[in-house]
Amino acid sequence: MLYLLTLVVFAVPLAVYGVYRKDFRVTVLRVGAVGTVIGAIWDWVAVNVFMLWSFNPKTIVGIWILSLPLEEWLFFPLVSMSLATLTLILKKT
């Protein structure tokens, strides 16, 4: 649950703001899509093939999709979109 809460507090506000801004929307959504595809492949291989890391069951909700927890699936687009939004904000100033 802690992982999900961290995403909600830190990543969701910037991602939502990026989608809300019409001048950022297309870029932010594209970055989210690309980040999800690349992140999912990378993470799945790292976790299931090379076993580089695992997920603490005490910090996740417990919903698994294709051998990755729900929070990890939310991480890919939300963090990508948040960083894209932050970059666009800083570029405009």
What's the domain range around 7? 2-77
Rounded to 5 degrees, what are φ and ψ at 10? Answer: -100, -40
Q: Per the domain annotation, does 82 fall within a domain?
A: no
Domain presence at residue 13: yes
The answer as to whether 10 is a domain residue is: yes
Task: Give yes or no for a contact between 49 and 1, defined as CB atoms under 8 angstroms apart.
Answer: no
Q: Would the pTM count as exceeding 0.85?
A: yes
Spell out the residues 6+ positions from residue 85 whose beta carbon is closer than 8 angstroms to its own: 14, 15, 17, 18, 21, 24, 28
pLDDT tens column, 9-20:
999 999 999 999
Q: Residue 84 domain-assigned?
A: no
- 67 domain-assigned: yes
Structural domain total, the chain:
1
Query: Is residue 35 assigned to a domain?
Result: yes
54 belongs to a structural domain: yes
Tell whether 20 is covered by a domain. Answer: yes
pLDDT tens, residue by residue, 58-68:
999 999 999 99
**What is the average pLDDT value for the chain, to the nearest integer?**
96
How far is residue 50's CA from residue 84's CA, in Å, rounded to a whole number? Answer: 29
Query: What is the mean predicted confidence (pLDDT) over 66-81?
Result: 97
Closest CA to 78 of 29, 33, 11, 9: 11
